[in-house]
Amino acid sequence: MKTYWQNYIEGAWVDGGAGRIDIANPGTGEKLAEQALADVADVDRAVMAAQRVHQSGALADLRPVERGRMVQAMGRYLLENKDEIARVLTMEQGKPLWEAVIEIEGAARYFEYYGNQAETVEGRSIPLGKGYFDFTTYEPFGVSAQIIPWNYPVEMTARSLSAALATGNACVIKTPELTPLSNAWFAHAAEAVGLPKGAVNILCGLGRDAGAALAAHPQVNQIVFTGSVPTGIAIATAAAQNVVPCVLELGGKSAAIVHDDADLAAFENDIRWGIYFNAGQVCSAMSRVIVHDSVHDELVERMVGVAQSLSVKPGIEQPQFGATMGAMVSEAQRDRAADMISAAQAQGAQVATGGRKMNIPGAFLEPTILTDVTPDMTIANEEVFGPVLSVLKFSNDAEALKIANGTPYGLVGGVFTRDLDRATTAARQLRAGQVFVNEWYAGGVETPFGGYGKSGYGREKGREALWNYVQTKNVAIKLKG
Ligand code: NAD
């Protein structure tokens, strides 16, 4: 493994004006490598390089199918290198190696999907009567700035980069301080498929320095941010100053409502994926289960069984798909989650299983289930971003929906029942951008994703996401005679 990783600006690997940052392996607690840190001048160079690519037309003026082919080829490049990328991703992020492979495959899928969509961004003709011919076209914004979180660094970059390139934007990616290394393969992929130098720039820097400079840069034309609410507010404020659009994908406190007629055995699988995948560090994690009184005890017993079945160890020792969980991204994140568990206990929650930091090197937390959680508790409202599930009870449908909708967030929600009327009513009434019926995470790259309320605005994934990266131009032609 390389010990020093540089930034990538205008087709060259470069040092950072702000020096270097140590990258740790959360599976061992040891230093893994050093990463170049960009300063404000580096950000400026990257943005200006991207702006030159845009102005040159080297991307924007291509026939869309040609851009689409390059975008698809980037996905294939990731798949060809997935074993190497997955090892680096696991070592910097902590997730099991098999989960890292799934992340690379998921990233590649975005390039396949949006590569295929490139030539479908068509305008329309609007009838204005005999004297005019009118049509609309969609043009790329120009420079797309994308600020990435640490939990899925490869997949999150893939999600925005693929759609932005497919629609003809040049991009500047600001990678997260904790997990910047695996993003290097996007630069390799851009080179391998022949994108112009400066079309893809990738730099790591501190959020408050490089991130803030990128969000506020006057030559950035559009911003995509995935991360926490306070940072989202800072970025939206910077975007407003320059009057550029931004997409905000923020956090969540998403709830599954489990009715008395739900298939409780099947729900074990939803627990497995919903709260323990990536050690719960998923914005759309199923962090609350709201269960009917009459099946509460049976469901808790099943969920505790799932939590206790997980073998928790360094991700690099977990090549095979199975009942395993890795480290959290850092000891600071792990300690924050452990503190939230203690605070919940002080407010009256019970630990049904887990709850403790593990006595091994690295950032490990036991898979945890908290019962006797009530809607007023902090743990029922604030995002833990760890393997911690809160269980609440309800006695009628209206109460369940009230609890589910009772936080400022609104990213996703789920309802588990065999009753179609109940499921449909809940789907209508859940205040969330995506509703899962009888399977948490049902959907895919094809389905739009994004938040209501404090979970953000704009949509990623699906055809909806394409419209983030283009602006509509209307052309009205006055005809003679
Ligand atoms: P964060 O907001 O601290 O950081 C995200 C990114 O923003 C990082 O690259 C960081 O360097 C940068 N940043 C920080 N301050 C900045 C500033 N002032 N200006 C510009 N950039 C700045 O979030 P995080 O801790 O990396 O990620 C965890 C959070 O992200 C959780 O709240 C989680 O729910 C959310 N998240 C949401 C999604 C989604 O799709 N909705 C996906 C992943 C994570």
Query: 99-156 pLDDT, tens per residue?
Result: 999 999 999 999 999 999 999 999 999 999 999 999 999 999 999 999 999 999 999 9
Axis-axis angle for helices 397-404, 420-429 (nearest 10)? 30
The answer, yes or no, to whether any atom of ligand 1 lies below 6 A from the CB of 381, is no
The pairing of strands 170-175 and 200-204 is: parallel
- The whole-number average pLDDT for the span 41-60 is 98
Residue spans of alpha helices (H) in 320-419: 331-346, 397-404
- Residue of minimum CA distance from atom 39 in ligand 1: 249
pLDDT tens digits for range 450-481? 999 999 999 999 999 999 999 999 999 999 97
CB 170 within 8 A of CB 50: yes
Q: What are the structure tokens assigned to 58, written together? A: 């080297």
Atom of ligand 1 nearest to the CA of 456: 41
Residue 481 confidence (pLDDT): 73
Q: State the chain's maximal CA–CA distance in angstroms.
A: 85
CB 348 within 8 A of CB 372: yes
- The whole-number average pLDDT for the span 319-341 is 97
CB 377 within 8 A of CB 347: yes
Backbone phi and psi for residue 28, each to the nearest 5 degrees, phi listed first:
-130, -20
Q: Across the chain, what does the average pLDDT equal?
A: 98
Confidence label for 340 from pLDDT (cuts 50, 70 and 90): very high
Q: What are the structure tokens assigned to 128, written together? A: 């204005």
- Tell me how far the alpha carbon of residue 301 is from its chain's centroid: 31
Q: What are the structure tokens assigned to 239, written together? A: 């975007």
The answer, yes or no, to whether any atom of ligand 1 lies below 6 A from the CB of 433, is no
Rounded to an integer, what distance in angstroms lies between the CA atom of residue 110 and that of residue 107?
5
Q: What are the structure tokens assigned to 301, written together? A: 């017993």
Which of 439, 479, 467, 475 has its CA nearest to residue 141?
467
The question of whether 283 is a catalytic residue gets the answer yes
Of 39, 175, 225, 226, the residue with max ligand 1 atoms within 8 A of its CB, to mutate for a pocket test, comes to: 226
Q: Report how far apart, in Å, the C-alpha atoms of 475 and of each of 18, 124, 131 are.
A: 46, 10, 14
The H or E element that residue 49 is part of is helix 40-56
The answer, yes or no, to whether any atom of ligand 1 lies below 6 A from the CB of 276, is no
Confidence label for 214 from pLDDT (cuts 50, 70 and 90): very high
CB 116 within 8 A of CB 463: no
Identity of the residue numbered 272: R
Q: Which one of 99, 283, 366, 383 is the catalytic residue?
A: 283
Residue 333 confidence (pLDDT): 98
The question of whether 80 is a catalytic residue gets the answer no
Which of 382, 388, 236, 246 has its CA nearest to residue 325?
388
Which of 385, 362, 2 has its CA nearest to residue 181?
2
**Residue 42: pLDDT over 90:** yes
The answer, yes or no, to whether any atom of ligand 1 lies below 6 A from the CB of 118, is no
344's CB contacts (< 8 A; 6+ apart) are 370, 373, 377, 378, 379, 390
Q: What value, to the nearest 5°, has the Cα angle with vertex 154 and ends 150 and 157?
A: 90
For residue 209, how many other CB atoms are within 10 A of its CB?
Answer: 17
Rounded to an integer, what distance in angstroms lies between the CA atom of residue 291 and that of residue 262?
10
Of 147, 202, 206, 461, the residue with max ligand 1 atoms within 8 A of its CB, to mutate for a pocket test, comes to: 147
**Residue 289: pLDDT over 90:** yes
The answer, yes or no, to whether any atom of ligand 1 lies below 6 A from the CB of 373, is no
The H or E element that residue 134 is part of is strand 132-140
The answer, yes or no, to whether any atom of ligand 1 lies below 6 A from the CB of 385, is yes
- Residue of minimum CA distance from atom 32 in ligand 1: 228
pLDDT > 70 fraction of the chain, expressed in percent and rounded: 100
The answer, yes or no, to whether any atom of ligand 1 lies below 6 A from the CB of 250, is yes
108's CB contacts (< 8 A; 6+ apart) are 75, 76, 78, 79, 82, 158
Residue 171 confidence (pLDDT): 99
The answer, yes or no, to whether any atom of ligand 1 lies below 6 A from the CB of 33, is no
Atom of ligand 1 nearest to the CA of 451: 41
Which of 339, 211, 354 has its CA nearest to residue 275?
354
Which of 208, 174, 149 has its CA nearest to residue 36?
174
CA gyration radius for the chain? 23
Distance 250 CA to ligand 1 centre (A): 8
The answer, yes or no, to whether any atom of ligand 1 lies below 6 A from the CB of 195, is no
- Residue of minimum CA distance from atom 43 in ligand 1: 283
- Tell me how far the alpha carbon of residue 27 is from its chain's centroid: 22
Distance 112 CA to ligand 1 centre (A): 26
pLDDT tens digits for range 397-450? 999 999 999 999 999 999 999 999 999 999 999 999 999 999 999 999 999 999
pTM > 0.95: yes
Q: Which one of 103, 177, 249, 383 is the catalytic residue?
A: 249
Q: Report how far apart, in Å, the C-alpha atoms of 355 and of each of 252, 368, 466 are.
A: 21, 5, 42
Distance 228 CA to ligand 1 centre (A): 5
pLDDT tens digits for range 360-397? 999 999 999 999 999 999 999 999 999 999 999 999 99
Confidence label for 325 from pLDDT (cuts 50, 70 and 90): very high
pLDDT > 90 fraction of the chain, expressed in percent and rounded: 100
Q: What are the structure tokens assigned to 368, written together? A: 């945890």
